[in-house]
């Protein structure tokens, strides 16, 4: 082999090593690059990068996002934080609940640590001193809602799909659902929480989940315009978002999908118990009422009762108090039957036929419910 070939090979090897070393040193990517953390222009940009899994949030991603968010919050050169997902299908379809269920069944710490650190991250987003812009393009559910709703700005597109479907897997709408859901207009949040109803496109904005709506073909231009701002104030950022929002054309004059049902939703979901809500829906008998009844009847009876109480109590609590309450609920669900059965039926065997225990609302007693809400003492979530 000629000397120049050896030199070329050596240089190429050296270059590769430098790159590898840089990647190892950099906290911007982990081994699989599941979340990218980059400084671009005036912003810190968080990119959820698990497109094959609809950018589902796992423990390692939480552990990377939180310290970086805190660093950017303190950094005088970082003026805003943008969070987005890769792949076009999803912003973030939720937490990696299959891994959590497996860990809980094996009595591993992950089931405690995941929820604890996820809720601490939700709170950090809420209290973040820098403007926080979530581009909620595509599926945004569960844990993905937790990464966006607590931020100052949430931008939906015609491809946005929002839901809190946890009652269908024996869980409850967590990540602060007990805080933001009862604060939506009327009883809309109670309806979304109990039925898992999906909102699409501009409806995500109309419902108050998003603060702005932008046509998806303009999303990359919006991001570029935000990054190009020079030392922007919160008002400068809001102005850019408002301009794009005002120019968006898709479904501009389309009425809210629930518009004609809102009065009924407010009346039905004002009832004080799940049993009463079911009775009222049966009495109403309209096709919309019966559709919601059908959805509710598929849900875990325990989850339904937990969720209604969670929202009623959360309506007068601070976000931190709600997250402390939800952490208690999460740990009780990990030790119960329905969450693991829901994960089995929906995600593992995919037979969509969970066998809930208890199977009847009547069998979920007030005493059972009180146990879910009980303090964990020294294991409680603290901020």
Active site residues: 95, 143, 166, 174
C-alpha–C-alpha distance, residues 85 and 83, integer Å:
7
Residues 6+ positions from 381 with CB-CB distance below 8 Å = 116, 119, 120, 323, 324, 327, 328
Q: Is 236 exposed, middle or buried (0-12, 13-18, 19+ CB in 10 A)?
A: middle
90-92/43-48 β-pairing = unpaired
C-alpha–C-alpha distance, residues 349 and 371, integer Å:
30
Contact present, 285 and 292 (Cβ < 8 Å): no
Say whether the peptide bond before residue 64 is cis (omega within 30 degrees of 0). no
C-alpha–C-alpha distance, residues 175 and 124, integer Å:
12
Closest listed residue to residue 182, CA positions, set 171, 170, 191: 191
Contact present, 83 and 151 (Cβ < 8 Å): yes
Q: What is the DSSP letter of 339?
A: H
What is the distance of C-alpha 24 from the center of its chain? 29
C-alpha–C-alpha distance, residues 44 and 42, integer Å:
7
What the block records as the tokens of 354 is 């969970």
Closest listed residue to residue 55, CA positions, set 110, 107, 29, 92: 92
What the block records as the tokens of 271 is 């009832």
Half-sphere exposure of 69 (CA within 13 A, CB side): 26
């Amino acid at each position: 082999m000629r000397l120049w070939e050896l030199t070329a090979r050596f240089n190429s090897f050296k270059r590769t090593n430098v790159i590898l070393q840089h990647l190892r040193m950099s906290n911007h990517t982990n081994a699989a690059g599941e979340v990218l953390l980059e400084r671009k222009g005036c912003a810190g940009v968080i990119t959820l990068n698990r497109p094959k899994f609809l950018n589902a949030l796992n423990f390692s991603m939480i552990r990377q996002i939180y310290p970086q968010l805190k660093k950017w919050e303190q950094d005088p050169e970082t003026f805003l934080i943008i969070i987005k997902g890769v792949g076009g299908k999803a912003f973030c379809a939720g937490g990696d609940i299959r891994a959590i269920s497996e860990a809980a069944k094996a009595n591993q710490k992950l089931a405690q640590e995941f929820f604890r650190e996820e809720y601490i991250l939700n709170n950090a987003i809420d209290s973040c001193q820098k403007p926080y812009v979530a581009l909620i393009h595509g599926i945004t559910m569960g844990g993905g809602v937790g990464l966006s709703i607590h931020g100052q700005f949430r931008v939906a597109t015609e491809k946005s799909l929002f839901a809190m479907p946890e009652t269908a897997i024996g869980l409850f709408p967590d990540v602060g659902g007990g805080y933001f859901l009862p604060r939506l207009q009327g009883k809309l949040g109670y309806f979304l929480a109990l039925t898992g109803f999906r909102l699409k496109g501009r409806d995500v904005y109309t419902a108050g989940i998003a603060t702005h709506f932008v046509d998806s073909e303009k999303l990359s231009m919006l991001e570029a315009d935000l990054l190009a701002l020079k030392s922007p104030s919160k008002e400068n950022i809001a102005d850019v978002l408002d301009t794009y929002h005002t120019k968006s054309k898709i479904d501009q004059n389309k009425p809210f999908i629930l518009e004609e049902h809102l009065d009924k939703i407010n009346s039905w979901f004002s009832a004080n118990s799940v049993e009463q809500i079911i009775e009222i829906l049966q009495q109403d008998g309209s096709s919309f009422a019966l559709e919601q009844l059908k959805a509710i009847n598929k849900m875990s009876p325990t989850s339904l009762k937990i969720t209604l109480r969670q929202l009623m109590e959360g309506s007068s609590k601070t976000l931190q108090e709600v997250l402390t309450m939800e952490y208690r609920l999460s740990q009780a669900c990990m030790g119960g039957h329905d969450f693991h059965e829901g994960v089995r039926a929906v995600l593992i065997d995919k037979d969509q036929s969970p066998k809930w225990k208890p199977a009847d609302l009547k069998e979920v007693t007030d005493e059972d419910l009180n146990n879910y809400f009980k303090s964990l003492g020294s294991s409680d979530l603290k901020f």
